[in-house]
Chains A and B, each alone.
Chain A
């Protein structure tokens, strides 16, 4: 298919290679992302999710086995244009303050666009749009110091800083872990809008399966550095037994549905989200 934007196959990576402290990061990992898709990358703690994500914008490049092709570029080849890759692939990490490069919110969000050789007006427009997208009031936040913000606000500023570069692929590495429900819901809303209004391709790395079930339409499962499952979210998350075998806690919805089926209640189709599940139960049990 020609709408494939990320194709990673048979990738292996060892940290601290050729030292006594060598540690396996990836072993035969693969990942395919299509244009316009909202994907999730899931796996236990230490399964190699963050390592795999680092290959997406050339922070890591294949040194051992494996083929990594991002937007048609083979990142293993010396001629690979890493800068253009970073412009197209935006990575948002778990600790937002690690990503801050300037003192003030406005400056920080403008950091990316400024390097792209845009005019002042264009930069301002981008910053404006990015802040609006993540639900930060421009006037209220533009002059705030980045380190004085609350945890939830920091995450949104970090996200805005990446969005301002208008990436073609947005990757969020555990960007909601540790946030309280309110902060989490805000990030979810932002992602839903980006997808609906901009058709942005998004990869969400998460260990909250309820979040993955609500938001995404494709899922890749990593286990001990290896890609063990990949496919439509409905197929992967709809099989709680398989997820449990890989040390993952399946979404509440599919667990409830599994129990109901086991109790002999006929559930039609393969509901996944909260709303779908509720509707399916209603259809099966309505008075």
Chain B
């Protein structure tokens, strides 16, 4: 195992026991996440991606297989080491509203570090710093309930960042946001990643998945595709078979190429890629 490996999962199975029938959510997942990575885990609802996310920081223990966080197996060890794992790999869920414990923004952010027993002065410093990082300074005394959807989402992220994790998992945290708020949150994530935070983005939107350095596509509890966004999108047959949606720009580019329009550069994924490729082509012609 290399020293910069943050998370490793090996042959992870997870079965939900629903009384009469057992539902197999994960059937043998292998993956690794290195320090500083930006990984997207994509797939449909029911593909097992949320279950996987919860296995990666010990909220769920695999029914079979193992997960290691910085070499520590989530299955073994004391409560102390499990707390350490959860403080190392933070997770933010889909509905920020359901995650808030406190009734002011300040206390909400402090909840995680309070649990870790961070003493007073350091606690105040952390809260102030994290609120500045996510752009919520000035709202310290507000009730989280009264914030806008985008602000709630950033507050949920702040609440996890305050534990100073090495890795942040976002479990569909942007699904319910309007496009502008989503873009703001994604820009924030990009910023955090630039500052060295490892990111795992769980999403059903390919528009978001292309932002990552590496995409893992899950289908019915198995890894169906894995690689750079370019390589994942390039595998058109498998991609279509999985019924995933191509981002609008990528779909237009693909259709133009199919009709015989040459587009320079790499596989087109985003709006900017498409605009760049088309303008570049015009420049080549003239």
B interface size (C-beta, 8 A): 37
Contact A177 B176 (CB under 8 A): yes
Contact A282 B259 (CB under 8 A): yes
Contacts of A156-212 to chain B: CB distance below 8 A: 177-183, 185, 207-210
Asked if B267 is an interface residue, CB under 8 A from chain A, the answer is: no
Encode B54-74 as 1/0 by CB contact (under 8 A) with A. 000000000000000000000
Contact among A152, A263, A287 with B45 in the assembled complex (CB-CB below 8 Å): A152
Report B-chain residues with C-beta under 8 Å of the C-beta of A274. 248, 251-252
Asked if A51 is an interface residue, CB under 8 A from chain B, the answer is: no
Contact A256 B252 (CB under 8 A): yes
Q: Which of A81-89, A105-113, A123-131, A247-255 contacts B (4 or more CB under 8 A)?
A: A247-255
Contact B282 A286 (CB under 8 A): no
Contact among B175, B271, B279 with A263 in the assembled complex (CB-CB below 8 Å): B279
Query: Given A252-B248, A259-B275, A260-B278, A46 and B148 touching (CB < 8 A)?
Result: yes
Contacts of B237-286 to chain A: CB distance below 8 A: 243-245, 247-249, 251-252, 255-256, 259-262, 271, 274-275, 278-279, 281-282
Q: Which of B26-34, B117-125, B134-142, B178-186 contacts A (4 or more CB under 8 A)?
A: B178-186
Report B-chain residues with C-beta under 8 Å of the C-beta of A46. 148
Of B183, B206, B248, B279, most A-chain CB atoms within 10 Å = B248
Alpha-carbon separation in the docked complex, A107 to B244 (Å): 33
Asked if A74 is an interface residue, CB under 8 A from chain B, the answer is: no
Alpha-carbon separation in the docked complex, A208 to B175 (Å): 11
Alpha-carbon separation in the docked complex, A149 to B97 (Å): 23
Contact B275 A260 (CB under 8 A): yes
Contact B175 A182 (CB under 8 A): no
Report A-chain residues with C-beta under 8 Å of the C-beta of B179. 207-209, 248-249
Contact A182 B243 (CB under 8 A): yes
How far, in Å, is A112 (CB) from chain B's closest CB? 28
Asked if A44 is an interface residue, CB under 8 A from chain B, the answer is: yes
Report A-chain residues with C-beta under 8 Å of the C-beta of B252. 253, 256, 274, 277-278, 281
Contact B244 A181 (CB under 8 A): yes
Asked if A121 is an interface residue, CB under 8 A from chain B, the answer is: no
Query: Given A274-B251, A277-B252, A247 and B180 touching (CB < 8 A)?
Result: yes
Alpha-carbon separation in the docked complex, A37 to B45 (Å): 32
Asked if A140 is an interface residue, CB under 8 A from chain B, the answer is: no
Asked if A265 is an interface residue, CB under 8 A from chain B, the answer is: yes
How far, in Å, is A218 (CB) from chain B's closest CB? 20
Alpha-carbon separation in the docked complex, A49 to B274 (Å): 33
Alpha-carbon separation in the docked complex, A260 to B148 (Å): 34
Alpha-carbon separation in the docked complex, A251 to B46 (Å): 28
Asked if A45 is an interface residue, CB under 8 A from chain B, the answer is: yes
Asked if A139 is an interface residue, CB under 8 A from chain B, the answer is: no
Smallest CB-CB A-B distances: 6 pairs:
A181-B245, A249-B179, A180-B204, A252-B248, A207-B178, A259-B275
Q: Mind listing 7 A-B residue pairs with CB under 8 Å?
A: A44-B178, A177-B176, A181-B243, A181-B244, A181-B245, A207-B178, A274-B248
